[in-house]
Each structure stands twice: as structure tokens, then as C-alpha cells.
Amino acid sequence: MLFTPRLLKLPISRSFFLFGARNTGKSTLLRHLTLCIEIKSSDNVLENKLTSFINIIKDLENCEAICISQAVRAKKIWNVIVLPWKDALRKYFTK
């Protein structure tokens, strides 16, 4: 995969968020790219809906990749763990 340099300089030492149009699969990169998050509104996340996200994380070393969705149960697609949103909030965003 080829990465194109951007004009925007993203902070290395802090978290940041990428915003985009609805249904484009926004990704969040936190803490030196160790946790990558894809957010989907669907209750049935399929591999073909994660293709772009999977292509990004393939090039990142030691990246934990999760997809937060409306799914009823957790499942794994390639190296992406698809989690129901309540489980993801509990696991990653509460102390």
C-alpha cells in the first residue's frame, strides 16, 4: 500500500480523530497507532465492508484493530475484532 503525505501534521504524542462524510467508514488512530477503530452503523458487519480498514492495518505493526458496530455478538474478521458498541465502550472507554 502506498501512503500519500498530507498537508495536515497529526500529533504524534496525543490522540486524534479523523472525521468524514457519513457511511465512509471513519477510522480513529490512538496512541502511536496501536489501536485502530472503525465505526459502522450496521448490525451485520461483513468483510467486504472492512476492506479499506483492513488494508490500512495491514501496514501497521502491532496494531490492535476493532470495529464498533450494532452487532449483537463479538466476532473476528481477518485481524479485526467486531464488537457491539456497548461492549466496546465498556472495554476501551471506561476505567
pTM: 0.65
Pseudo-torsion of CA 44, 1, 10, 13, nearest 10°?
90
Listed residue (3, 16, 88, 15) closest to 45, CA to CA: 88
Q: How far apart are CA 82 and CA 73, in angstroms?
A: 8
Digitized pLDDT (tens) for each residue of the chain, 95 residues in all: 555 555 555 555 655 556 566 655 555 444 444 788 899 999 999 999 999 899 888 877 778 899 999 999 999 999 999 999 999 989 887 76
**Angle CA 27–29–31, to nearest 5:** 165
